[in-house]
Chains A and B, each alone.
Chain A
Amino acid sequence: MNRAALFFLNVYLYSLFLFISGLVTPILTGVVVALAPISPRRRSMKRFRRFISWYGKIITRAAYPFIKVRYEDHAEQGAEGPFIFVCNHQSASDPFLMSVLPHECVQIVNIWPFRIPVLGVYARFAGYLNIRMMSHGQFIEKASRLLEQGVSVIFFPEGTRSTTGKMGSFHGAAFRLALETKAPVVPLCITGNAQIPPKGSLLLRPGTIRIRRLPAVTWNEYKDVNAFTLKNRVWKIIDRELTSMESKA
């Protein structure tokens, strides 16, 4: 795609993003706020997180046909949620893509997502956890409470977006949480969005993004290993799958 076409594509996509955000977020927020006084807090939170997921779905689908999003569910029947989702991280679009998951979810984030205007405020209200702003003990306590309430948690355990095309090593928090809570760990693989947008840029390029959900690693499969070993096993599962997805792309 030449520079002019790319320029107009980005003007179109960002205008669409702002238009939809300006239209959808006040409506969804209004519904949540209006129903909050007559709903228990738990139900309000569930509704709020569902609306965030709808917003993500609308934003990611609106870019069609320039940016196509394909969700491939390879999960086997059996494992019951809530889940600990573990996903590779190449682009700022990854958090939006989590809207494909049909669960009530909270994302575990770094400092910067909370600083994004408007969206950062929504993330805070939705109970997203900033892992850098709390001790390990506090984090495990809060995340365990979410899982007890039936809320799945999503990790990007590389901590930062990869720029090399190769998945970075994982931090251990997701796997320590798994060992504490016995929750199934679900590997998620994203390909095709390294340029949508690339790290350090806002420039969107057309392409097809694939999100593949793999079978859960259950408590029975990891109960005898430590967090480090579980982390490396899941890293290998995702790495192998990414290689396979990219070779068939």
Chain B
Amino acid sequence: MEALKQELKEKIINILNLEDVQIEDVNDNDALFGDGLGLDSIDALELIVMMDKDYGIKLADPKEGKAIFQSIETMAKYISENRTK
């Protein structure tokens, strides 16, 4: 689980091009959207594709992402329970 969390932090910084953010800046329970990391709806769509491509999880409705993408903690939990690759 810790490795997956680390992996997700790296991926998010990389995919979303968060140049000024370091891995250690992101805490497991920080909000990814809104006041936390400041991600927006376009980032959510990027994350949906990442879930499909890297973990074989398909989300048909962008609204489903809302609960899953709350924090690194929630993402890691969902991925570890639902991943197909």
Pair from one complex: no
> Which residue numbers of B lie inside 8 Å of A, CB to CB?
none
> Which residue numbers of A lie inside 8 Å of B, CB to CB?
none
